[in-house]
């Protein structure tokens, strides 16, 4: 069974981004993936900021990432960039941490003026971590998202676009999984 981890990078307790990550994981689980969610706001702040990858909670997050075939990176847009919380986590990763994996970058934000933040700011960093494939990124306006008590509802257009992107992502992480299995057996 393919495994997918979402890493969500909002510091907010009531976060639209973190709910979008849950929404994505629920869809992928329904399609047969084993899923996990690393909410960076739940990691211990001092070890995270000190780059202490030996701390048990940080080590556990890194191990979950290492096992994944697919990685969803979900971030709020802050100051026209991805969040500092996500940056702190990315800075902990070894050079080829995304090797063999398919990656889906997602952002929420208040203004389409900053839709480029994902591809201009985050994508080059991801690329340097040697992923097998980074699929089409998607920026969701927070006006397209309505929080309910325990979920998020997407406007129909956004839901359709996200579904198409998830279909491509699911193809990509299945291909990545097969390629990793072949490489390990040869």
Alpha helix ranges (H) inside 32-186: 45-49, 56-67, 84-90, 123-128, 156-185
141 or 179: CB nearest ligand FMN: 141
Distance, CA of 36 to CA of 10 (rounded, Å) = 17
Interaction between residue 137 and ligand FMN (CB under 6 A): no
Q: What is the DSSP letter of 112?
A: G
Strand partners of residue 153 = 146
Distance, CA of 121 to CA of 62 (rounded, Å) = 22
Interaction between residue 109 and ligand FMN (CB under 6 A): yes
Distance, CA of 124 to CA of 86 (rounded, Å) = 14
Interaction between residue 144 and ligand FMN (CB under 6 A): no
Build a one-symbol-per-residue string for 42-81: x at contacts with ligand FMN by CB under 6 A, - elsewhere.
----------------------------------xxxxx-
44 or 110: CB nearest ligand FMN: 110
Site stretch for ligand FMN (CB under 6 A), options 47-55, 92-100, 109-117, 177-185: 109-117
Site stretch for ligand FMN (CB under 6 A), options 10-18, 57-65, 84-92, 95-103: 10-18
Interaction between residue 121 and ligand FMN (CB under 6 A): no
Interaction between residue 131 and ligand FMN (CB under 6 A): no
Number of residues this chain uses to bind ligand FMN (CB under 6 A): 17
Spell 1-23 as b/e; 16+ CB within 10 A means b. ebbbbbbbbbbeeebbbbbbbbb
Among 10, 71, 106, 158, which residue sits at the site for ligand FMN (rule: CB under 6 A)?
Answer: 10
- DSSP codes joined into one string, 118-153: IIIIIHHHHHHT-BSEE---EEEEGGGEEE-SSSEE
60 or 143: CB nearest ligand FMN: 143
The residues, ordered by sequence, that sit 6+ positions from 117 with a Cβ below 8 Å of its Cβ are: 77, 80, 81, 82, 107, 109, 139
10 or 133: CB nearest ligand FMN: 10
* Interface residues toward ligand FMN, by CB under 6 A: 10, 12, 15-18, 76-80, 108-111, 114, 142
């Amino acid at each position: 069974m393919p495994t997918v981890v979402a890493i969500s990078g909002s510091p907010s307790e009531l976060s639209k981004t973190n709910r979008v990550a849950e929404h994505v994981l629920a869809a992928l689980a329904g399609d047969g993936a084993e899923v996990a969610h690393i909410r960076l706001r739940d990691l211990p702040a001092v070890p995270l900021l000190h780059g202490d990858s030996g701390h048990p909670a940080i080590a556990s997050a890194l191990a979950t990432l290492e096992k994944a075939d697919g990685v969803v990176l979900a971030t709020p847009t802050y100051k026209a960039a991805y969040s500092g919380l996500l940056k702190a986590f990315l800075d902990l990763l070894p050079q080829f941490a995304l090797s063999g994996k398919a990656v889906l970058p997602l952002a929420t934000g208040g203004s389409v003026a900053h839709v480029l933040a994902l591809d201009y700011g985050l994508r080059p960093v991801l690329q340097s971590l040697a992923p097998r494939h980074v699929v089409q990124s998607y920026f969701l306006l927070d006006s397209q998202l309505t929080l309910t008590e325990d979920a998020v509802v997407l406007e129909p257009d956004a839901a359709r676009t996200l579904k198409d992107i998830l279909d491509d992502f699911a193809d990509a992480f299945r291909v990545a999984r097969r390629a990793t299995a072949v490489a390990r057996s040869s």
